[in-house]
Amino acid sequence: MKQHFLLFSLFLSTILFSQEFTEPDSAAIHKSKVKSVKIYYTGTGTTHLLSQEYQYDPNGNLVFAHSGSAGYYYQFTYNNKSEQISSLQYSNTGELISGFFTDYYSNGKRFHVKHTYSQDSIHPATIYTYDTAGNVLEESHYIKGNLTRTYKNEYDENNKNIHRTDSTPGLETYETRNNKTVRQTYYNTDNSLKENCLLFYSDKGRLMRTACTKGKTTDTYSIAYEDNSSDYKVSKNGNKISKEDYVEWDRKFRWLMERPMSEEFGLPYSDPVPTYEYKHELIRDKKGNITKDIIKGAYEYMNFKPVEFDYAYEYW
């Protein structure tokens, strides 16, 4: 049964309560021939609100999911091998928001996935092509039916990505080898070459130097790390870099550095997100299906009272 794979997880990740209830046990649902599950948020016992609804076919495949809190609903279809071939997300008014359409190899690995959005007139789409091992070989992006960007990947015998290229001329393209970006190319709006940057790394994988060429001029930017820490300074052509040049360099390459943003010029940084932990106490019936989920937990700076979810089943 292939209902709980990546695409399904991507859909449902957007509709769960802040205290995430435990999803129904797929093995128990399949074994006990569950037709539908309704999950109610009962709070501390004084409220009873529909949080989520699932419906299944006789083979135990999820065919419908509805978020009581957000109003969205989802429909799934399968082939005769119970492989999911479509995942559609609708608004509470019935408008199609997003959809995945999947083809498979004979071994059950995904071969082709088309992801479309229909919430506006642009109608973007992304198409993924896979090899027989399940690796993404090509990722193509379309807007209004026109190809806007294509990424291509190569893998070694251990299915490790060793080469990634952005083969569509546009604002920016990238080339990656062994999970390291080794080239970034920038284009003008008429697709003429604007700038080509080569990236060089230390044996430990740290970015050490970038060489960017515009026309016949090449500027070399060197990165010096302080005391083997993640703090660093950037120089241009062996000289102290200006703030304007640094901001431009930082915009292009900050995402490759070990810390999120250099504070060399007092640039702002993001505060860390508070951490939290949930503990689930599950109560099951004789068939193994979850009937109650009692959630206890706390943010790092405050506790919250336990909340409960009740599960109601209908069987084939």
pLDDT, tens digit, 9 for 90 and up, residues 125-173: 889 999 988 899 999 888 877 888 888 888 888 888 888 787 665 667 7
200 residue type, one letter: F
Average pLDDT over the chain reads: 80
Structure tokens at 135: 């690796």
Write out pLDDT tens, residues 223-272: 888 776 667 888 999 998 888 888 888 878 877 764 433 344 444 444 44
Q: Using a pLDDT cut of 70, give the percent of the chain over it.
A: 78
For residue 190, report the phi and psi dihedrals to the nearest 5 degrees: -90, 15
Structure tokens at 114: 């088309």
Provide CB contacts within 8 A for 269, sequence distance 6+: 260, 261, 263
Structure tokens at 40: 């109610």
How far apart (Å, rounded) are the C-alpha atoms in residues 37 and 16?
A: 15
Q: What is the pLDDT of residue 48?
A: 67
Residue 31 clears pLDDT 90, i.e. is over it: yes
Write out pLDDT tens, residues 171-230: 677 787 877 888 888 888 777 888 999 999 888 888 899 999 999 999 999 988 877 666
Write down the pTM of the prediction: 0.62
pLDDT band at 279 (very low <50, low <70, confident <90, very high): confident
The stretch 19-28 carries a mean pLDDT of 86
DSSP state of 20: P
Structure tokens at 165: 């290229």
How far apart (Å, rounded) are the C-alpha atoms in residues 198 and 213?
A: 9
**Chain Cα centroid distance, residue 288:** 32
CA-wise closest residue to 5 among 34, 26, 30: 26
